[in-house]
Each structure stands twice: as structure tokens, then as C-alpha cells.
Amino acid sequence: MRELKAFWNTLLHAGRNLLPIVLVVAAFQLFILQSVPEGLAGILIGLGIVVVGVALFLQGLEMGIFPIGKSLSNAFARRGSLPLLLAFGFAFGFAAVIAEPALIAVAEQAQTISQGHIDALTLRLIIATSVGLVVAVGVLRTLLGLPLHWFMIGGYIAVVTVTWFAPAEIVGLAYDSGGVTTNIVTVPLIAALGMGLAASISGRNVLSDGFGLVALAVMVPMITVQAYGIYVFEIVGVDPGSDSLDIAAPAGDPSADLDPAGILTGLLITIRDVLPIIAAVLFFQLVILRQRIPHLKRVVIGFLLVILGLYAFVVGLKLGLFPIGERMADQLIARDNVIFLYLFAFAIGFATTMAEPALIAIGDQAEHAAQGQIRASVIRLLVAMGVAIGITIGVHRILAGDSIHYYVIGGYALVILLTLLAPRYIIALAYDLGGVTTSEVTVPLVTALGIGLATQIEGRDALMDGFGLIAFASIFPIVTVLGYATIAELANRWRASRPSRRPPNDTST
């Protein structure tokens, strides 16, 4: 009975996350486009499946993955072994990312659009390995108390340098891949690991030393995916200008995923996706710690719910969220008024971010850790504005046909400058906030919107121009948070430096 009540609350939670998207789309359909979208029944069914899938997935996390993850973290912290901590950080970084729903969606879109030149599984393995390695490095940084800003400045200089040499076909996808690696699975696990380590080590500050793992997990995949693109398009020799990369391959009938054969195939693929998490748990629990898994029955049920939830989520995407993004792009372009496109991009970015559960959780944790120095409500507003501005700028880039190189290099140059100017206490949090802004329902819709725009506008390429919106949604929240903190710090210094206005002869007390 308690589990059913918890699932019902989780189902309502997932529905609330989807509600801002539904309201924005409905408002544009009724008041601006003044039409009912084609295939409305199928879209609604798909959205319902997404909500159920997310709810099952979250319930499975709470029952199986999170408890055993916390148990392992505590066990390794008590042992105090650096090699074990680093190995644990790598294994859980890898395992969590390989099963990330948003990454699965983006990888499948990339494989479809490139007609197999970019392999979805290879892309996910590269990204998951990158995150695993960088989580291990982040654990070491926390243990040694090294300042995060030097890691971030050096890392983004490397990102920008690689971008100059990377083919245009991979740049947008690479930056999007960094933005979707930290989401519904990874943020809670990685953030809890960092803050737990900082809290347990004498002399460490949870705000400045505990945050930052999420930021590192966003950054490094941008480098490795661009390196993969250099291999695919320049070393292997795929012609990036060929017609095979201009238009997405037919996606087929999404309803085929609901046939018995399609369901079985989808479930088997999902089991393959979740196997790394199961393998990591079993290895560390049974082989390294040599302990029985606590509450085994509950953990097994949790993993089964994760598998069912992931499968339902992917099917719901194909039926609901992907068609919404593509059709909204078609309809808004047909209106021949870019103001509506900009307005839609801004509204989607702001509304969905304000309802993002990972952002709410991180904001509350930051307010608690900062002891009143930071307000969670202000953080959410700043991040939502940053996402809205970023997606709007990304839409403008697609409409204008500009190269993404200049936009992302300019954006990260601004981030590096603000990192040097901003107060140190805010830097790790600001970078982490850039990685938690895109939810499991926002990413597919925004990705479909970008691909839809690039497909419908003459002279645009779906692979070169369709990706990149998520990247902007990750860059600009960092800018708004660092910018606000810098301005607030300067204002405080100015107020502190002003002489008292009390008259010299005033002796009142």
C-alpha cells in the first residue's frame, strides 16, 4: 500500500513536469496557430506513456538504485581507500549515463539523421566513459581540496580549441551531448557523491567543494564527442556534404513499438542499456565489499521498474514528444513570422525550467549549504531566464544559418571571463546549474524542434544545424548565475565603501 501511494505521488510529479510543455504548446495552438494538430489522439497517448514511463523509472530509482548507491558510498567512505573511491566514481558515472533517457533519445536521433554514420551505442559508450573518468577526477579534486575554477577554465579552453578543428556536423551534437549527460539519473547520484564526500572531510566546504562534479560531467563529453566526429567525418572519410546527411531517414511507424515483437525487442534493448548499472552494483557489493545486497527483493523490483519505465519513456517519445516538436516547427515556419518562433522558444525554455525537479533539488541544497547566502527562488529564476535566452539564441542561429562554432566559442569565452570575475563561492554551483536545466521531457522536445527547423528551412542541414539548442540551454544559465553573483558582489562592495550619511554632530544612539 505504501509503495502504491508513493507511485501515485511520483506519477503526479511526472505529470507536473510535463504540464508546462502541454500548456505552452496548447496556448500556441489555440491562440496563435488557431488549429488542432494532426494526429492529436496519438500525441496524447504518447504523452501519457511518457508520464507513466517517467513515473515507473523514478519509482524504480527510489526503490533500487538510489538506496544501494548510498549504501555503497557510505561503505567506501568508511574504508577510506582512494583507489576504491576512484573506481567507484568511475563505475557509477559510467553506469548512470549509459542508461540516461535523454541521452538515449538524442543518440537515436543522431543515428537516424546521419543514417548510421554516427552509431547511437558507440556515442553513448564514449559519453559514458568520459563521464566515468571525469567523476573519478572530480572525486580526487574534492579529496585534495583543489579549486574547481582552474579545472573549468582549462577544460573549456580545451573544448574551444577542439571545436576549431571539429567538423561542423558534430559540433552541435557534441555540445548537446554534454548537456544531456546530467539528468534524471546522474544528477542525484553524482551530486550526492560530491556533497557527501565534502561533508565527511575535515576542512572542506559543501558549497565550494561538494558541488562541481555535475559540471565536470557536462564538460568532458563535449571534447570526446568532437574527437569521435573528427574520426567519423575526417579519418574514416564520410563526406559531410553528401546528400545522405541532409535529410533524416524515415523513422517508420512508431506504433510498431506496441506490437508484441516490438515490445519484446524494445524490452531487450532496454535491459541491455541497464545492464551496466546492474553489473556495477553486483561487482562492488559482492566482489569488492563481499556483502549481501540489503533488501534484495525490493532492489530487484526497483530494477524491473527502471527497465519498464525506460522502455515506456522511449515509446512515448516517438508517439508524443518528437511529433510535437517537429509539427510545431512546421506550423510556426509556415506562419512566416519569426517573432512567434522566438516567443515559443523562450516560453518553452522558461516554463519547463521553472518546473525542473533536479533544479529545485539543487537550489534547495545550495540554499541550505550557503546558510542564507543564496536563495533557491532567485537561483531558479536566474537559471530559467538563462535557459529561455539560450534556446531563443539557438533558434536564431538556425534561422540565420550561422555557424555554431562562433556562438559556442563566444558563449564559453564569456563564461571563462565571468569565472575570473565572480566570487569563488558561486562558481561550482553555477557550473552545476548549467547541467541540470534540461529535463527528461524537455530535451526530446527541444531536440525535435531544432531538427524540425533545420529540416524545413531551405539550405539548412539537419545534422549540422538541427542540434545545438540544448547546448545553449546549458551555457546561458551559467552566464546568468555568474553575472548576477558578480553584480551583487560589486554592489555590496560599493555600499560598504560609501561613507556614513550621519551628520558629524549627530550624537544620537
- The confidence band for 390, taking pLDDT boundaries of 50, 70 and 90, is very high
> How many beta carbons lie within 10 A of that of residue 8, not counting itself?
12
Contact between 46 and 319 under an 8 Å Cβ cutoff? The reply is yes
pLDDT tens track for 34-66? 877 777 777 788 888 888 887 887 788 778 776
Contact between 108 and 67 under an 8 Å Cβ cutoff? The reply is no
| Listed range (181-190, 374-383, 386-395, 473-482) with the worst mean pLDDT | 181-190
Q: Which long-range contacts (CB under 8 A, 24 or more apart) does 272-276 make?
A: 273/98, 273/99, 273/104, 273/310, 274/99, 274/303, 274/306, 274/307, 274/310, 276/94, 276/95, 276/98, 276/99, 276/128
> How many beta carbons lie within 10 A of that of residue 480, not counting itself?
24
pLDDT average, residue stretch 199-225: 75
What is the reported pTM? 0.72
352 contacts: CB under 8 Å, gap ≥ 6: 17, 20, 21, 387, 439, 441, 442
Amino acid at 383: V
- The confidence band for 386, taking pLDDT boundaries of 50, 70 and 90, is very high
- The confidence band for 438, taking pLDDT boundaries of 50, 70 and 90, is low
Residue 294 DSSP SS3: coil
pLDDT score, position 450: 86
Contact between 23 and 47 under an 8 Å Cβ cutoff? The reply is no
Produce one character per residue of 187-204: b if its CB has 16 or more CB atoms within 10 Å, e if not: bbbbbbbbbbbbeeeeeb
Residue 15 CB burial class (10 angstroms; 0-12, 13-18, ≥19): middle
pLDDT score, position 470: 82
pLDDT average, residue stretch 334-340: 82
pLDDT score, position 251: 45
| Listed range (68-77, 232-241, 245-254) with the worst mean pLDDT | 245-254
Of 472, 123, 492, 107, the C-alpha closest to 314 is: 107
pLDDT score, position 440: 62
First to last CA, the chain: 64
Q: Examine the pLDDT at 85 and tell me if it is beyond 60.
A: yes
167 contacts: CB under 8 Å, gap ≥ 6: 229, 230, 233, 234, 240
Contact between 122 and 228 under an 8 Å Cβ cutoff? The reply is yes
Residue 467 CB burial class (10 angstroms; 0-12, 13-18, ≥19): buried
Count of residues making up the chain: 509
Instruction: Output the average pLDDT for the chain.
Output: 78
pLDDT score, position 247: 38
Contact between 54 and 441 under an 8 Å Cβ cutoff? The reply is yes
